[in-house]
C-alpha cells in the first residue's frame, strides 16, 4: 500500500504567517486534513505529522516520515510577504531533490493551476529543513499568500476543488489512479459544487426519474425543478402522497415530507444529498444519511436560520428546494 506523509505546517505557539485573525497554522491544518481524508478514500495509507493545533518541531516531522516506509512527503503552507500584492501558488523541493520529487511537484503545481490560481509561481528549489531532512521525495506547497485577500478568497471558495486536485495528483504520483472528489469530501461549506458532481446528479435524475435534463454540470432552474419532481415521485411511491408531479414545492409537497435523520437510507436521502451539494454543502451522494450528511444538514440549517437539529424535515426541505 502506498504511504504519504501529510504535514500541516506550523501549529501550537507557532502560528506561521498571520493576517488579522487568520493564522497560517489553521489554514494548513484544514487543507492537510481535507487532502488526507481524500487520500484515505483512495486506499492510500496516510500518516499525519499533526491532526490538531500542536507544535511539532521540524526535525520531528522528518523523523516521523523517516521512521516509516514512505512514498511521498508533502508539507502544507500558506505564503506571506510584506508586499500585499504578492500572490499565487508555488511548490518547493530541496536543492538536490530527486527526479521523483521534481516530477511529483510539477504535477501538483499543474493540478492547482488547472483549478485556477491567481498566479503560477512554479516549482522552486529551496534549502528547507523538512525538504532536506526527509528521506522520501518531499515537497512543500505554498497555497497562496495569507496576506493577499484575493488568494484568501480563492483558498476559501475553491477549497474543495483544491483538495480534490491535490489528492488526485499526490495519488497519481504514488501510482494510484483515483478521483477522490467524487462522493464528496469533508471540506468547506458553501463552495461551488464541482461541475462533475452536478453532472452526476443530472445523470441520475435523468436515469431514475426521466428528467430529460441536459447534462451540462450547471445547476439551473430545470435541474432544480427536476429535483423537486424526483422528491414528489418518491413521496408518492413511498407514502402514497398523491402529489401532482409538477416540480413546484407547494404546501402539499411540504406536508407530505417525513423527517430524515442519521441512519435513514434510500432515494429520499439521495435527493437530500443532491440538494445539499447543489447549495454548496458538500457531502456524499450515497443515499445513506451518515455523520457527514448530518453535519452538512446542520450547517445548512444554521446558514438558513433554521433550527440546527440535523434532522431534515419539511422546513429544511422547503428552503433546500428553493
Q: Rounded to an integer, what distance in angstroms lies between the CA atom of residue 54 and that of residue 15?
A: 10
Q: How far is the CB of 159 from Zn ion (least distance, A)?
A: 18
DSSP 180: T
Q: Rounded to an integer, what distance in angstroms lies between the CA atom of residue 264 and that of residue 260?
A: 6
Using alpha carbons, select from 236, 85, 102, 111 the residue that is nearest to residue 165.
Answer: 111
Q: Which three cell numbers stand for residue 116?
A: 485556477
Q: How far is the CB of 72 from Zn ion (least distance, A)?
A: 19
Give yes or no for a contact between 66 and 135, defined as CB atoms under 8 angstroms apart.
yes
Q: How far is the CB of 217 from Zn ion (least distance, A)?
A: 35
Q: Which three cell numbers stand for residue 205?
A: 435524475
Give yes or no for a contact between 12 and 60, defined as CB atoms under 8 angstroms apart.
no
Q: Where are the alpha helices (H) located in 73-220, listed in sequence order?
A: 99-115, 129-132, 149-157, 159-173, 195-209
Report the half-sphere exposure of 201 (CA within 13 A, side-chain side).
35
- Residue with CB nearest Zn ion? 77
Q: Which is nearer to Zn ion, 16 or 137 (CB)?
A: 16
Q: How far is the CB of 28 from Zn ion (least distance, A)?
A: 7
The dihedral of CA 75, 77, 83, 84: what is its sign? positive
Q: Which is nearer to Zn ion, 130 or 278 (CB)?
A: 130
Q: How far is the CB of 16 from Zn ion (least distance, A)?
A: 4
Q: Rounded to an integer, what distance in angstroms lies between the CA atom of residue 277 and that of residue 272?
A: 9
Per DSSP (E only), the strands in 49-116 are 72-79, 89-94
Q: How far is the CB of 35 from Zn ion (least distance, A)?
A: 16
Q: Which is nearer to Zn ion, 37 or 142 (CB)?
A: 142
Q: Which is nearer to Zn ion, 128 or 171 (CB)?
A: 128
Q: Which is nearer to Zn ion, 94 or 289 (CB)?
A: 94
Q: Which is nearer to Zn ion, 38 or 78 (CB)?
A: 78
Q: How far is the CB of 292 from Zn ion (least distance, A)?
A: 29
Residues that bind Zn ion (CB under 5 A): 9, 16, 77
Q: Which is nearer to Zn ion, 124 or 322 (CB)?
A: 124
Amino acid at each position: 500500500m502506498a504511504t504519504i506523509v501529510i504535514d500541516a505546517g506550523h501549529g501550537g505557539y507557532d502560528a506561521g504567517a498571520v493576517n488579522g485573525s487568520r493564522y497560517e497554522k489553521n489554514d494548513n491544518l484544514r487543507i492537510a486534513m481535507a487532502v488526507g481524508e481524500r487520500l484515505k478514500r483512495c486506499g492510500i495509507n496516510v500518516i499525519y505529522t499533526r491532526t490538531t493545533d500542536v507544535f511539532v518541531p521540524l526535525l520531528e516531522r522528518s523523523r516521523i516520515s523517516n521512521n516509516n516506509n514512505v512514498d511521498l512527503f508533502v508539507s502544507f503552507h500558506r505564503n506571506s510577504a510584506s508586499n500585499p500584492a504578492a500572490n499565487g501558488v508555488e511548490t518547493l523541493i530541496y536543492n538536490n531533490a530527486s527526479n521523483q520529487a521534481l516530477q511529483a511537484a510539477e504535477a501538483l503545481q499543474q493540478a492547482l493551476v488547472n483549478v485556477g490560481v491567481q498566479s503560477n509561481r512554479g516549482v522552486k528549489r529551496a534549502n528547507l529543513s523538512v525538504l532536506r531532512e526527509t528521506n522520501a521525495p518531499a515537497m512543500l506547497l505554498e497555497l497562496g499568500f495569507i496576506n493577499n485577500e484575493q488568494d484568501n478568497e480563492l483558498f476559501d471558495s475553491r477549497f474543495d476543488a483544491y483538495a480534490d486536485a491535490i489528492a488526485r495528483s499526490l495519488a497519481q504520483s504514488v501510482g494510484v489512479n483515483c478521483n477522490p472528489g467524487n462522493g464528496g469530501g469533508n471540506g468547506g461549506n458553501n463552495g461551488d459544487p464541482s461541475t462533475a458532481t452536478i453532472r452526476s446528479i443530472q445523470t441520475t435524475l435523468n436515469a431514475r426519474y426521466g428528467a430529460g435534463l441536459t447534462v451540462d454540470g450547471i445547476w439551473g432552474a430545470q435541474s432544480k425543478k427536476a429535483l423537486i419532481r424526483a422528491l414528489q415521485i418518491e413521496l408518492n411511491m413511498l407514502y402514497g402522497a398523491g402529489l401532482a408531479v409538477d416540480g413546484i414545492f407547494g404546501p402539499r409537497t411540504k406536508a407530505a415530507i417525513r423527517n430524515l435523520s442519521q441512519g435513514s437510507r434510500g432515494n429520499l436521502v439521495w435527493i437530500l444529498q443532491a440538494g445539499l451539494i447543489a447549495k454548496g454543502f458538500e457531502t456524499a451522494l450515497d443515499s445513506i444519511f451518515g455523520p457527514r450528511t448530518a453535519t452538512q444538514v446542520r450547517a445548512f440549517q444554521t446558514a438558513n436560520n433554521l433550527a440546527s437539529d440535523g434532522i431534515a424535515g419539511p422546513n429544511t426541505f422547503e428552503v433546500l428546494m428553493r
